[in-house]
Structure 1
Amino acid sequence: MKAIVVTSFGGPEVMKYTDVNMPVISENQVLIRVVTTSINFADIKSRYGKKGNKALPFIPGIDVAGIVERVGSHVKNIYPGQRVIAFPQNGSYAEYVVANENLTFALPDEVDFQTAAACPIVSFTSYNLLANVARLQQGESVLIHAAAGGIGTTAIQIAKLLGAGTVIGTVGSETKRKIALDAGADYVICHQDEDFVEKVNELTNGEGVDVILDSISGTVSEKSLNCLAYYGRLIHFGNASGEIGNFQTKDLHASCRSILGFSFGTTRKKRPELLQDTANEVFRYLRDGSLKVKATKSFPLQDAGKAHEWVESRKSTGKVILTVQSSS
């Protein structure tokens, strides 16, 4: 089969479109013919050798949408011919992948493969951040950093669906403001023009927000505490800046605020049983049209390098996907 293989750490040019062996399933796994897969920032960090200590060579990618070809002897709830999304075992930029049954989810008929590819990481992560980690309550206010990205635009929608009051987004450029507003944010702050702490405190009458979703880290994380309300929760789930953020314990106990961490990768490995409920809720939102997750740009599998270049250019908004045509 054909796949994209990272042969050395570096830029997009290290990804090669080549022949690899067809994966073999075990008794609790399924073989999936990939129709679409998405580009995630974690893929880019892995390509540079900055995430997961991956051994070379490797196939990048985290999530797929496709059709089940075969199932292992102990698989009970997934069957051949079924449309699914999955988090595969060894990368997703390939014509075929293997995934554990508990990380494979039947796709509703109403959800097409383009949406399905755009959905898994951004929607599953957003739902877990807000419903399970932040435990968002009716009417609470939310600040979402990087609000024009895939997780940002999805988290805005899910926050509203879960009953949030005011939802504020931050973006890195003026061109991205409309994207976050169109996703449903009540206010959007551009880092280039405004100090987000001052603006958030102004919008909340000096109270701060109840929940902050932070995938940036560094000084953004540190400053975020200055606009977090009493009993507020700062959820840290990424390190896009590559910087380290430092906090002091005195900033927490007197104000009853919390700093919480979340990794969807860790959850997939350590608590996969939690994800079926997440899938049920996400698919319910997608079926009734209340959640809109769409691919904003697509590339064929063999052009994965160009797709990475586009994502790294910071011009991308929403999700970028790869489409796969089987050669066999």
Structure 2
Amino acid sequence: DPAADWRLATGGSGVVDDLVRLPLPEAPLGHTEVRIAVRAAGLNFRDAMLALGMYPGEAELGTEAAGVVLATGDGVGGLAPGDRVMGLVSGGIGPVAVTDHRLLAPIPEGLGFAQAATVPAVFLTAYYALSDLADARPGQWLLVHSAAGGVGGAAIQLARHLGLHVFGTASPGKHRTVEAAGVPADRIGNSRDLSFAPAVRAATGGRGVDIVLNSLAGPFIDTSLELLVPGGRFVEMGKTDLRNAFRVRAEHGVHYRSFDLMEAGPDRIQEMLADLVALFRAGVLTPLPVTAWPVTQAPQALRHLSLARHTGKVALTVPRPLDPAGTTLITGAYGGVGRIVARHLA
């Protein structure tokens, strides 16, 4: 029922088809909260892990969304009902969601809801990783693993803006995608084996890289650590193979940092969102390729995501609910189906 408020959640069985719609009772808004009518929600690999029962810890399905402001709390300034916004919205897969106003920003002109919904998580993650954690500087070398994915694609764009040299890895079938993003062919390696290591050495003249933005595991981490220059920074986005930062420092002479975006805090996220919106408006950044699915096909979208068949981002579109004060035209209203529909809407 598109007129009722609900949010999509996992059923808990670890099967991607086991999704449920949980009722979402309307509650008074907090001082800093905003209620939005969701038009699209971005999906991330974390959501696929949640659906499959593989995510370490508790979390709600859905991280980011775009839509229209319905109402604001007493302490919210700069946003008003009717504004088109995008941002971090936990559990935001459904017709209505609530989030802190500092986690929202106006949708840049020219972006549709599906595009806007897939911007916040990956661009904020890449921004925070490169600017805040890695302290990236012009002229440095960056190794981006899974460069054809969401964070990888965002990192390539931000690295270009920051004046970094980029080497990216991806599965062979996605190398053209990485090249189309602006990475030269001789700076693209295979993310399915360790052959990227000599390619990185060759591209950097044997020097190695200053920063690694990682999402891989096992020997890929060990090999990547060996590619860092002394004092380099290994920034870990993954959750499945975390290392001890002190041991990494002792054995490799580099800095190791795993992170979660929300550790930045709402005030810093607000600052980063404002910077990103300005860069989109200036044409420095552009949306990643988006594959959009209706929310009714969420299991198919999550399965597609879990198999890493996509490039860029995946989004779910949420239908706009009927306006109770509006007018609905029913063609064939005297037929059997037409009468049922008319009776339902009356």
Post-superposition shift, 1:191? 3.6
Percentage of matched positions with identical amino acids: 28
Contact 1:218 1:244 in 2 (8 A): no
Q: Secondary structure at the match of 1:12?
A: coil
Question: For the residues of structure 2 that align with 1:23 and 1:183, how far apart are their CA atoms?
Answer: 44
Report the counterpart of residue 266 of structure 2 in structure 1.
Answer: 272
Normalising by structure 2, report the TM-score. 0.84
Give the number of equivalent residue pairs.
Answer: 316
Measured against aligned partners, the alpha-carbon deviations of 1:128-187 in whole angstroms (never above 9, x if no partner) come to 1111111111111110001110111110111011111x210011x211111111112231
Are 1:147 and 2:147 counterparts? yes
Query: Aligned letter for 1:228?
Result: L
Alpha-carbon deviation of 1:93? 0.9
Query: Could you say if the C-alpha distance between residues 24 and 215 of structure 1 is closer, same or farther in structure 2, counting changes exceeding 3 Å?
Result: farther
Q: CA deviation at 1:256?
A: 4.7
Distance 1:101 1:192, change over 3 A: closer
Counterpart-to-counterpart distance in 1, 2:156 and 2:270:
22
Residue 259 of structure 2, aligned match among 254, 258, 262: 262
Determine the structure 1 residue equivalent to 2:275: 281
The answer for the alignment partner of 2:180 in structure 1 is 182
- Write the letter of the residue equivalent to 1:312: S
Distance 1:27 1:192 in 2: 48
* Contact 1:217–1:245 (CA under 8 A) maintained in structure 2: no
Counterparts of 1:65 and 1:169 in 2: how far apart (Å)? Answer: 29
Specify the structure having the higher radius of gyration (Cα).
2
Distance 2:298 2:25 in 1: 19
Shift of 1:188: 0.5
Q: RMSD in angstroms over aligned alpha carbons?
A: 2.2
Question: Which residue matches 1:237?
Answer: 237
After superposition, the Cα gap between the structure-2 partners of 1:40 and 1:221, relative to the gap in structure 1 and judged at 3 Å, is same
CA 1:217–1:245: 2 relative to 1, 3 Å? farther
Asked if 1 retains the 8 angstrom alpha-carbon contact of 2:242 and 2:258, the reply is no
Alignment of 1:111-130 (within 5 A): 111-130=111-130
1:168 is aligned with what amino acid? F
Aligned 8 A contact 2:40 2:317 in 1: yes
**1:15: which partner in 2?**
19
1:248 deviation in Å?
A: 7.3
Q: CA deviation at 1:127?
A: 1.0
Aligned partner of 1:87 in structure 2 is 88
The TM-score with structure 1 as length reference comes to: 0.89
Q: Distance in 2 between matches of 1:106 and 1:191?
A: 35
SS in 1 for 2:177: helix
1:25 to 16, 24, 29: 29
Which segment drifts farther, 69-78 or 93-102?
Answer: 69-78
Describe the SS at the equivalent of 1:168: strand
Q: How far off its partner does 1:253 sit? A: 5.3
**Residues 80 and 17 of structure 1: is their aligned pair in 2 closer, same or farther, counting only changes over 3 Å?**
same
Matched residues in 2 for 1:279 and 1:244: separation? Answer: 28
Q: Secondary structure at the match of 2:305?
A: helix
- Partners of 1:38 and 1:246 in 2: CA distance: 32
- Structure 1 unaligned runs (5+)? none
Partner of 2:131: 131
What pairs up with 1:243-258 in 2 under 5 angstroms? 243=241, 245=243, 249=247, 252=249, 256-258=253-255
Aligned match of 2:331 = none
In the alignment, the residues of structure 1 paired with residue 112 and residue 96 of structure 2 have an alpha-carbon distance, to the nearest angstrom, of 19
Q: Distance in 1 between matches of 2:188 and 2:205?
A: 16
Contact persistence 1:114–1:295 (CA under 8 A)? no
How do 1:307-318 residues align onto structure 2 when only pairs under 5 Å count? 307-318=301-312
